[in-house]
């Protein structure tokens, strides 16, 4: 096979492998999006739970880089502390080894069958879940077709004497060759930006006999270090804690490689003891059929060792990286850098971040409402409080814009119909919160209309403050559904909303009656009406927000 043919066959095989992995990942993410969100939200201070979350999420998305970048984003958003992040990363490193086991199955003979089986649900099924399942199976078929193409290219490459001579030093059995191979694996992974693809390529090279078993293991060790570049790049410009999480990831990999390299012969013996077949056995076709399984085991064992070594010392490691990267002054900015780049995150992870920002937005609106009540209750006009209320409203405008733009970008990514509906509900919640903030600001500004000799007093004042407090309680009750993520009792909310609406109508009529009797100056009629209308609008937008929260937490059928 000519050099150019070898090159495009290898490149085409890699392309099929990448697309197969992408289809599988997209399909699994669409099916398990709610599961991923629940796992992320279940993170606690328990480090074993965090390892389990990192492992399971990575098994589902089939990329430790995606999980570690997501983790860096969560630390940046203060959704996860540094110790939790380290534990999640340890779990993600174990979870990514599932790809090696998938490749080791060597189902190339069934690749077209998998493509065919996966194609039919996508073409004929009207059920979204079956369509995504078909996408997963189709992806697996493309993955194995890619491995077949890479194997064909490697067989031809093995026949090239010049190529084999060029890599002869790396295949030797001594410390210098081991270190050189590790560095080469690290460099190639940094360039390709995918340890999964490099792992598959390494396993294929060992299968056809280009790389001896021990050289392939060293290459895998280097690939484990090279994959940390994704998290390090994602941490650029992030908070100190996010950069610490990325640094901890690299530190874990490098130290673990050093540990394994020191005991390399024992490490190989341990791998061989786990699988009875001889990795150096060559069949009649000249292939090494057992090398792939041994490499998959070596990859898994490497990351299990890292978890065993570092998990008891996550707090110590957190302190080490904190000393390496000291706290820096991080000026507060008027936009939500914590949301990160949706292109580098899973839709489920992006939704978790956006939901966290919605909770913060809701808290700001609650503080704004409380401050407005204090502002109205004060005997004297307080310009500082009014300025703070106006500032809160400006902040909610910025948050609303950032969340909406962020979620619109997220919606461009492959996702299930249910996830799309959830994102639309989040955008709706953001809209309603921003509208509530607008009417709170209006309510505060109405305070300026009452001069000292036109102060609201008596029954109208008492009714106004009672209504103000009840509408505030209603908004808090609705917002608790967003805070807790629990079932929203819409029947209770509808009843309370209707009660408040009738009460508002009654208040305006009573106040007009008092004005007709000379109890209040006529000029207060318009202002009082505007005040009640503002509270009615807050009630209305709170009710619409409740419907959106109910849709957000609705079960996926």
Task: Return the domain boundaries, the chain.
Answer: 3-324, 339-552
The pLDDT value recorded for residue 486 is 58
Residue 351: alpha-carbon gap to chain centroid: 7
Residue whose tokens read 């969560």:
74
Question: 284-293, 390-399, 510-519, 523-532 — which is least confidently predicted?
Answer: 510-519
Determine the pLDDT at residue 56. Answer: 83
pLDDT at 333: 42
Mean pLDDT of 96-101: 86
Of 379, 454, 348, the C-alpha closest to 41 is: 348
Show the 3-state SS of 107-130.
Answer: CHHHHHHHHHHHHHHHHHCCCHHH
The arithmetic mean of pLDDT across residues 280-294, rounded, is 87
Q: Measure the CA–CA gap between 218 and 180, rounded to whole angstroms.
A: 9
pLDDT surpassing 90 at residue 555? no
Could you read off the pLDDT of 52-67 as tens digits, one per residue? 888 888 887 767 777 7
Q: Please state, in angstroms and rounded to a whole number, the distance separating the CA atoms of residues 299 and 275.
A: 13
- The pLDDT-based confidence of 336 (bands split at 50, 70, 90) is very low
Helix, strand, or coil (residue 220): helix
Q: How far apart are CA 318 and CA 97, in angstroms?
A: 25
pLDDT of residue 43: 64
pLDDT at 344: 62
Tell me the C-alpha distance between 196 and 103, whole Å.
10
pLDDT of residue 335: 40
Average pLDDT over every residue of 504-521: 69
CA nearest neighbour of 100 among 183, 22, 201, 24? 201
- What stretch of H or E contains 27? helix 3-41
**Residue 309 in contact with residue 339, Cβ under 8 Å?**
no
Position 59 scores a pLDDT of: 81
Helix (H, G, I), strand (E, B) or coil at 134: helix
Q: Write the DSSP string, 517-555.
A: TTSS-THHHHHHHHHHHHHHHHHHHHHHHHHHHHHHTPP
Least confident piece of the model among 84-88, 129-133, 233-237, 520-524: 520-524
Kindly indicate the confidence band of residue 241, based on its pLDDT and cuts at 50, 70 and 90: confident
**Which pLDDT band holds residue 334 (cuts at 50, 70, 90)?**
very low
Dihedral (CA of 41, 42, 45, 49) sign: negative
- pLDDT tens sequence across 423-476: 999 999 999 999 999 999 999 988 887 655 556 667 778 888 999 999 999 999
* Residue found under tokens 């990448």: 18
pLDDT higher than 70, residue 483 = yes
Q: Which token pair is 29?
A: 């993410």
Position with higher pLDDT, 40 vs 209: 209
Percent of all residues in the chain with a pLDDT value above 90, rounded to a whole number: 26
Alpha helices, DSSP H, located in 159-274: 161-166, 175-192, 195-208, 213-226, 229-234, 240-262, 264-274
**Which CATH superfamily groups domain 339-552?**
Phosphate transport system protein phou homolog 2; domain 2 (1.20.58.220)
pLDDT at 543: 93
Report the percent of the chain where pLDDT is more than 70: 88
Pairwise CA distance, residues 197 & 341, whole Å: 24
- Highest-pLDDT range among 42-46, 71-75, 515-519: 71-75
**What is the pLDDT, as a whole number, of residue 64?**
73
Cα-Cα-Cα-Cα dihedral sign, residues 429, 431, 436, 441: positive
Average of per-residue pLDDT values in the chain: 83
Q: What is the mean pLDDT of residues 151-171?
A: 86
Kindly report, residue by residue over 171-184, the tens digit of the pLDDT: 888 889 999 999 99
Question: SS in 3 state form for 479-515?
Answer: HHHHHHCCCCCHHHHHHHHHHHHHHHHHHHHHHHHHH
């Amino acid at each position: 096979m000519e050099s150019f043919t070898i090159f495009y066959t290898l490149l085409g095989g890699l392309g099929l492998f990448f697309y197969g992995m992408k289809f599988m990942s997209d399909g699994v993410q669409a099916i398990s999006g709610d599961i991923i969100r629940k796992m992320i939200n279940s993170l606690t201070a328990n480090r074993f739970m965090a390892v389990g979350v990192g492992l399971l999420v990575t098994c589902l998305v089939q990329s430790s880089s995606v999980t570690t970048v997501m983790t860096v984003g969560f630390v940046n958003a203060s959704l996860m502390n540094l110790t939790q992040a380290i534990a999640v990363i340890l779990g993600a490193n174990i979870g990514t080894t599932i790809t090696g086991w998938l490749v080791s199955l060597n189902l190339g003979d069934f690749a077209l069958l998998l493509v065919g089986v996966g194609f039919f649900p996508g073409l004929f099924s009207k059920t979204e879940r079956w369509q995504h399942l078909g996408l997963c199976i189709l992806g697996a078929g493309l993955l194995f077709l890619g491995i077949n193409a890479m194997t064909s290219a490697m067989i031809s490459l093995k026949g090239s004497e010049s190529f084999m001579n060029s890599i002869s030093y790396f295949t030797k059995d001594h410390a210098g060759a081991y270190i050189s191979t590790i560095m080469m694996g690290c460099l190639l992974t940094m360039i390709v930006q995918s340890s999964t693809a490099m792992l598959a390529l390494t396993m294929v090279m060992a299968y056809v006999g280009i790389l001896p078993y021990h050289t392939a293991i060293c290459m895998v060790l280097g690939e484990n270090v090279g994959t940390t570049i994704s998290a390090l790049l994602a941490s650029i410009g992030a908070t100190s804690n996010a950069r610490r999480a990325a640094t901890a990831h690299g530190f874990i990999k490098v130290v673990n490689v050093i540990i394994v390299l020191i005991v390399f012969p024992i490490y190989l013996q341990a791998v061989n003891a786990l699988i009875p077949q001889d990795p150096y056995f060559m069949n009649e076709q000249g292939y090494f059929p057992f090398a792939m399984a041994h490499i998959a085991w070596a990859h898994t064992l490497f990351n299990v060792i890292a978890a065993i070594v570092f998990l008891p010392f996550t707090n110590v490691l957190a302190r080490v990286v904190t000393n390496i990267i000291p706290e820096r002054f991080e000026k507060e900015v008027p936009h939500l850098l914590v949301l990160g780049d949706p292109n580098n995150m899973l839709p489920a992870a992006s939704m978790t971040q956006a939901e966290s920002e919605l909770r913060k937005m809701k808290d700001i609106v609650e503080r704004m409402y409380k401050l407005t009540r204090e502002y109205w209750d004060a005997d004297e006009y307080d310009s500082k409080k009014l300025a703070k209320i106006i500032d809160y409203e400006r902040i909610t405008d910025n948050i609303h814009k950032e969340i909406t733009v962020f979620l619109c970008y997220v919606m461009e990514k492959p996702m299930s119909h249910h996830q799309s509906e959830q994102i639309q509900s989040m955008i709706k919640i953001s809209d309603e919160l921003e509208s509530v903030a607008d009417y709170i600001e209006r309510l505060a500004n109405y305070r300026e209309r009452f001069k000292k000799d036109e102060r609201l007093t008596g029954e109208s004042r008492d009714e106004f403050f009672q209504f103000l407090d009840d509408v505030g309680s209603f908004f808090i009750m609705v917002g608790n559904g967003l805070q807790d993520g629990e079932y929203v009792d819409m029947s209770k909310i509808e009843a309370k909303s209707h009660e408040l609406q009738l009460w508002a109508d009654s208040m305006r009529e009573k106040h007009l009656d008092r004005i007709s009797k000379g109890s209040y100056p006529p000029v207060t009629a318009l202002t009082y009406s505007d005040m009640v209308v503002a509270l009615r609008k807050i009630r209305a937008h709170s009710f619409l927000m409740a419907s959106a929260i109910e849709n957000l937490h609705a079960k996926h059928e």
